Amino acid sequence: MSKPSPRVVLVTGASGGIGNAAAIAFAEKGDTVAVHYSASEAKAKATLEAVEKAGGSGALFQADLSRVSEIRRLYDEVYARFGRVDVVFNNSGAGAEALIQDTSEEQYDRMFDLNVKGTFFSLQEAIKRMGQGGVIINNSSVLGSHPMATTGCYCGSKAAVSMLTKCAAKEAGEKGIRVNAVAPGPVLPGMVGEDMVNRMVNLSPFKRIGEAMEVGRLCVAIASDDMSWVSGQIIGVDGAAFC
């Protein structure tokens, strides 16, 4: 079933990195983007300006996605503003490098509350509210299936996101909603520090790491009707670094 044009796309964590790139990539198709942010209103405003410059339209929405009440408020406000949501990109997330024995309870809670709890209850709201032809994309990670020392907490949270994606696809498919995940390797701009960039660049045969826009444009492709029979998939985007 073809989606209305322009579509309404909710991008969480749209104030920087992959979220910013995805918002712009959807705007390049003329879509309306609900630009979500948690704390950085200035960066979110810059994303909205870039969305409008790219040919789309949109509005800003603030919410703390580690709290279920805030997730529900976000969806209420987006639906009140636009009347529908056709695509959701659950991009908000947190990460930190630390050995398991050095990981604090605060670090653990921050990553699992945002990466897992936030994704789970955003999925819940999206599946309840979206109709036939809806598309949900979660942001997982290559580290959700490839363990790496000093990232145990992050790896565990992203493994959970990947499994949630597959379970949600089984349930949401009965309503005609597709659910997939992107699994990026390190990208710029993004959350990776210079040390990790230097370590990761040689893992890919292309001898570089990815660009956030390469993930953003993959999201646009996944949301297109050309991929109408693709659901429940975790799609890697890492330049063959972790294949």
Domain at 160, CATH number: 3.40.50.720
Tell me if 242 is assigned to some domain. no
Q: Which amino acid is at 147?
A: P
Residue 242: partners with Cβ closer than 8 Å, 6 or more residues away: 142, 145, 146, 185, 203, 236
C-alpha to C-alpha distances, 158 to 11, 133, 192, 235, nearest whole angstrom: 18, 26, 15, 13
Dump pLDDT digits (tens) for 81-114.
999 999 999 999 998 889 999 999 999 999 999 9
Q: Which residue among the candidates 37, 79, 108, 154 is catalytic per the annotation?
A: 154
Is residue 155 assigned to a domain?
Answer: yes
Residue 126, Cβ neighbours under 10 Å: how many?
23
Rg of the chain's alpha carbons, rounded to an integer? 17
In a domain, 2, yes or no: no
pLDDT digits (tens, 9 = 90+) for 212-240: 999 999 999 999 999 999 999 999 999 99
- Asked whether residue 48 is domain-assigned, the answer is yes
- Global confidence as pTM: 0.95
Q: Which domain holds residue 164?
A: 8-237
Q: Is residue 30 part of a domain?
A: yes
Q: What is the pLDDT of residues 189-200, one digit of tens each?
A: 877 767 777 777
Q: Catalytic: 154?
A: yes
pLDDT category at 1 given cuts 50, 70, 90 is: very low
Band the pLDDT of 122: cuts 50, 70, 90.
very high
Alpha helices in the chain (DSSP H): 17-27, 41-53, 68-82, 105-111, 119-129, 152-172, 194-200, 212-223
> Is 3 within a domain?
no
Cβ(113)–Cβ(66) under 8 Å?
Answer: yes
Q: How many domains does the chain have?
A: 1
Longest CA–CA separation in the chain, Å: 50
Q: Residue 90 and residue 80: Cα distance in Å, rounded?
A: 19
